[in-house]
Amino acid sequence: MTLFRGTFLDTPSDPFSGGELRTEQDGALLVRDGVIRARGSFAGLRGQHPEEEVVDLSGGFVLPGFVDTHVHFPQVRVIGGLGMPLLDWLDQTALPEEARLADPAYAAGVATDFVRGLVGAGTTTALVFGSHFAPAVDTVFAEAARVGLRITSGLVVSDRLIREDLFTDPDRAREESLALAARWHGVGRARYAVTPRFSLSCSEPLLEACADVLRAVPGAMLTSHVNENTREIATVEELCGCDYVTSYDRHGLVGPGTVLAHNVHPTDAELGLLAARGAAVAHCPSSNAALGSGLFPLARHRAHGVRVAMGSDVGAGTGFSLLKEGLGAYVAQQLLGEAGHPLTPTHLLHLATVAGAEALGLGAAVGDFSPGRRFDAQWIKPAPSTPLAVGLAHAADAGDALAKMFALGTPADVRSVWIEGELVNTSAPHLVG
């Protein structure tokens, strides 16, 4: 067993319903086989367990590992393609790179960059948009398994209106998806996600094939995009003859295991349908800003009872850090003025951890530091004299410290990351072993 010592911050109760930030100053978590067995003050737990190894994380803050509910594996190398709206950015930046993943050797290099990027940002669980090429999807599952990252991913499918070298057909999509699910779903920390790219690029027979795979793989998730950009939405409505959410729902693709990214421009009817189905929305603020998609209507999602979590949306999103996305979520609500939902740092932490775990159906396993949860954690410890170190040294209380982490923190401030009690990344090599 290991006793992790430090100041632990987490959000076991929902701040949207009055829950407060939980702080354990000079606290300890007792971890055995990757699971938190006890929590309390360091002095108290040390007294009960005088022989256990201590990992001392004093002098920073320990947060639950982040849960990124929307991130594209093939796009890590094209982050930063600024200045275009969605459909132009797809044509000119994202999809040419996605086509390069036809080469499995290239895809393997991208998978390494991608998993490193996630873990380096303190993300320990992710719902990952895979590739259009099945061997490339194998490489990202394999790399995540090698590192220990908890991912849910799958084959991305399309058969219209994007570049043709990314096309599949319904039979091939069914066959390749089922084969990938057979190899990876429920193996270690991996799970399968059925992944139509967006209904703009998927014919009705292809969405039916997605529904077949979803039915055939118990516990599989469904992820896609929805209501991101006004031009895209008009095209979907023209093609499908219905609203965007219905374009998925009429194939049985919207349920409690569904996460749809963006939803910047929903109608009330669509929000009502998402709530009725128990589906979740991945809010991706840096992407929404970079592509000029719009400001996310969080208050309307809350009013309809739609579950919301955070996504980095790399590579339209501008990096892997959910600290940056949290700040972006806060800023977007500020810019909405009266229509915005005020967000505290506690809301931001909850959105980046517990809300994500719940959206992925992993709420009983990860997201906070309650006994019984896996020890998925990140130690935020900035280099001395940096603005964040100065800010944390002068923080009024834990909530203020958390605000400073969201305002100033970057992956450079994530000193170490653990998944299920195993150190998976550290910039402090003396901690290993």
Instruction: List residues binding ligand GUN (CB under 6 A).
Output: 72, 86, 90, 94, 197-198, 225, 228, 287, 313, 316
Tell me how far, at minimum, the Cβ of 320 lies from ligand GUN, in Å: 15
Residue 327 structure tokens: 């700040």
Residue 98 as a binder of Zn ion (CB under 5 A): the answer is no
- Checking DSSP bridges between strand 280-283 and strand 307-310, what pairing results, if any? parallel
Tell me how far, at minimum, the Cβ of 291 lies from Zn ion, in Å: 10
Residue 5 structure tokens: 């010592």
Tell me how far, at minimum, the Cβ of 94 lies from Zn ion, in Å: 9
Task: Please identify, using beta-carbon distances, which residue of 31 and 281 lies nearer to ligand GUN.
Answer: 281
Task: Please identify, using beta-carbon distances, which residue of 316 and 322 lies nearer to ligand GUN.
Answer: 316
Reduced to 3 states (helix: H, G, I; strand: E, B; else coil), residue 399 is helix
Tell me how far, at minimum, the Cβ of 169 lies from ligand GUN, in Å: 19
- Which of Zn ion, ligand GUN, none sits in contact with 86, Cβ below 5 to 8 A by type? ligand GUN
Cα–Cα nearest to 307, from 281, 325, 331: 281
Residue 218 structure tokens: 């118990």
Q: DSSP 3-state helix, strand, coil percentages of the chain (rounded to 5)?
A: 45, 20, 35
- Which of ligand GUN, Zn ion, none sits in contact with 115, Cβ below 5 to 8 A by type? none
- Which of ligand GUN, Zn ion, none sits in contact with 289, Cβ below 5 to 8 A by type? none
Quick one: which segment of 201-209, 308-316, 325-333, 400-408 binds Zn ion (CB under 5 A)? 308-316
Which position among 313, 358, 368, 420 is part of the footprint of Zn ion (CB under 5 A)?
A: 313
- Which of Zn ion, ligand GUN, none sits in contact with 197, Cβ below 5 to 8 A by type? ligand GUN
> For residue 307, what are the CA distances in angstroms to 53, 111, 303?
40, 29, 10
Site for Zn ion in 326-345 (CB under 5 A): none
The rounded distance, in Å, linking the Cα atoms of 83 and 1 is 51
Tell me how far, at minimum, the Cβ of 261 lies from Zn ion, in Å: 5
Tell me how far, at minimum, the Cβ of 316 lies from ligand GUN, in Å: 4
- Which of ligand GUN, Zn ion, none sits in contact with 198, Cβ below 5 to 8 A by type? ligand GUN
- Checking DSSP bridges between strand 22-32 and strand 35-41, what pairing results, if any? antiparallel
- Tell me if 75 sits within 8 A of 110, measured CB to CB: no
Q: Using the 8-state DSSP alphabet, how is residue 216 labeled? A: H
Backbone angles phi, psi at 289, to 5 degrees: -75, -45
- Which of Zn ion, ligand GUN, none sits in contact with 94, Cβ below 5 to 8 A by type? ligand GUN
Task: Please identify, using beta-carbon distances, which residue of 24 and 159 lies nearer to ligand GUN.
Answer: 159
Task: Please identify, using beta-carbon distances, which residue of 293 and 416 lies nearer to ligand GUN.
Answer: 293
Task: Please identify, using beta-carbon distances, which residue of 30 and 291 lies nearer to ligand GUN.
Answer: 291
The rounded distance, in Å, linking the Cα atoms of 128 and 221 is 11
The rounded distance, in Å, linking the Cα atoms of 248 and 242 is 10
Task: Please identify, using beta-carbon distances, which residue of 313 and 368 lies nearer to Zn ion.
Answer: 313
Tell me how far, at minimum, the Cβ of 39 lies from ligand GUN, in Å: 38
- Which of Zn ion, ligand GUN, none sits in contact with 123, Cβ below 5 to 8 A by type? none
The b-or-e profile of 206-229 (16+ CB within 10 A means b, else e) is: bbbbbbbbbeebeebbbbbbbbbb
DSSP string, 43-88: HHHHHH-TTSEEEE-TTSEEEEPEEEEEEEGGGGGGTT--S--HHH
**Number of chain residues interacting with Zn ion (CB under 5 A):** 2
Tell me how far, at minimum, the Cβ of 232 lies from Zn ion, in Å: 12
Which residues contact Zn ion by CB under 5 A?
Answer: 261, 313
